[in-house]
Amino acid sequence: MGKGGHNTLVESSHDEQIDSTLPHRLPTLSEIKVKIPAHCFRPTVRESMTYVAKDIVYVALTFFVMYQIQKMFTYGFMFFPVYWYIQGTLYTSLFVLGHDCGHGSFSFYPLLNNIVGTILHTWILAPYYTWKVTHNKHHKNTCNIDKDEVFYPQQGEAHEDSLMDDIFFWFPGVGWFYYLIKGYSPRTVNHFNPFEPMFYNKHFFGVCSSLALYLGMCYLIDVPWYTDSEWNNVKGQLSTVDRHYGHAHSIIHSIGTHQIHHLFTKVPHYHLEEATAHFRKAFPDLVRYNEEPVLFAFARMCKIFLKQRSFQGDSKVFTYTEDGNNNQNHKNL
């Protein structure tokens, strides 16, 4: 941290850009926005629906190929792990399209966004409307210890890792559904309960409609976190990290371009790369990019998070680090 301010990003040994500090004066959202071409903020129904159709065709084709393998080969079931990997990646692309719907970056038509988003997310067992509400809350409070929706460090007694924590984080699929049902303690929320305070007053009908279709059918954290007094929107969004998902990056619609997505949720996925290029050219000192393979980064950060999810004292800034002792050094800067 520089003297007299908290505009420094806490270092991470895995991120060269993260090791660098932010300027003392951060640009406003408007100052960043003018550096990005205006068309990047304009979705079109035709282009968005083209991606929906393309992804559905890929999902159907993958299913058909696996179905034929099972019919043709006695031990065709041995190909299931490969099928799960490919189909899971394609389902992630469907999730990203529904995610665009939730942000309103799929089209300028809210009704179309909600219809398409509900169908796509229900298909992959994600409750669209409730997730949309909680996810938008996350975007409004990114890296705010006191208000963010998930993965924020908790002040208090040190958290003891447990077998159940390991199961919920490491067993495929379990952690996602546990989060949907329990939320993230202590600010818990049940995504299947339309009477939750977060949903009941403004979103009750939308939640019920989304859950009705859902019942009929029966996304990393080495970033600095700030208390509310130290946090502002630009600081929180710029603290996010871009990552490349390797061969799956384009398949899942470049959602790893996280900085621009967090700064401007209205940018449709097919303009994220272009908008990111303009942002990086205009503000090279604000770029935060991690080249570590995503699966390794996920495993590393899960392990760190489980051990460092709580802290003591009145710290204003917190980060998850490789060496837990470093947290104490950073938190009171």
Instruction: Give the confidence band of 216 by pLDDT, cuts at 50, 70, 90.
Output: very low
Average pLDDT of span 83-97: 91
CB of 307 closer than 8 Å to CB of 324 = yes
The pLDDT value recorded for residue 197 is 65
Residue 229 in domain: yes
pLDDT digits (tens, 9 = 90+) for 117-164: 999 998 888 888 888 888 877 777 777 777 776 666 776 666 666 666
Higher pLDDT, 39 or 143: 39
Is residue 79 domain-resident?
yes
6 domain residue, yes or no: no
Phi, psi of 125 (to 5 degrees): 60, 45
Residue 313 backbone zone (phi > 0: left; psi -120 to 50: alpha; other: beta)? left
pLDDT at 212: 52
Q: Is 1 among the domain residues? A: no
Residues 230-280 pLDDT 10s: 788 788 888 888 888 888 888 888 888 889 988 898 899 999 999 999 999
**Number of domains, the chain:** 1
**Mean per-residue pLDDT over the chain, rounded:** 77
Q: Is residue 27 part of a domain?
A: yes
Burial annotation 212-234 (CB, 10 A radius, 16+ → b, else e): ebbeeeeebbbbbbbbeebbebb
Average pLDDT, integer, range 64-76: 90
Q: Which residue has the higher pLDDT, 323 or 275?
A: 275
Inside any domain, residue 11: no
Domain assignment of residue 316, yes or no: yes
> Which residues form the domain of 71?
16-218+220-331
**pTM tops 0.75, yes or no:** no
- Through-space distance between the first and last CA atoms of the chain, rounded to whole angstroms: 6
Percent of the chain, pLDDT > 70? 67
Please indicate, yes or no, if residue 292 is contained in any of the structural domains: yes
From the CB of residue 35, how many other CB atoms can be counted at a distance below 10 Å? 14
